[in-house]
Amino acid sequence: MAAPLLCRVALAPGCSGLLLLVAAGFAALVAIPLLRTKNLREESKENFIYFGHARFWEARDLEAAIKNEEILPQLSRQIVIMAEIAWTKHIRVQWSFSLAAAGGIVLTATGLGSATL
């Protein structure tokens, strides 16, 4: 008799709600853009790969900069930064799916358990 009681406590409806809420939080963190705002205008004078910098450029000036400047350091830096951001977002997606699945399982188990009581 102790085991069914333990199962009911572990699979409390609040637990599934909490798991689903945390899963939704991780999903929201994935969707929220990561935009830098500090020092962009000043940095944009020598940087143009990041769209936050490029928005301060005129098209003709940007074309000339791309033709005349060494862009490999900027491009390499931006690829690494974007990879870090994408990696973090993918980890959050994994957590979101995992927690949502766990919440769904707990919710289903709780519903099935209460139906047999």
Closest-CA residue to 27 (of 89, 112, 104):
89
More confident residue, 117 or 40: 40
Q: What average pLDDT does this structure show over 55-80?
A: 94
Can you give the pLDDT at residue 33? Answer: 82
Query: Measured in whole angstroms, how far is the alpha carbon of residue 46 from the centre of its chain?
Result: 29
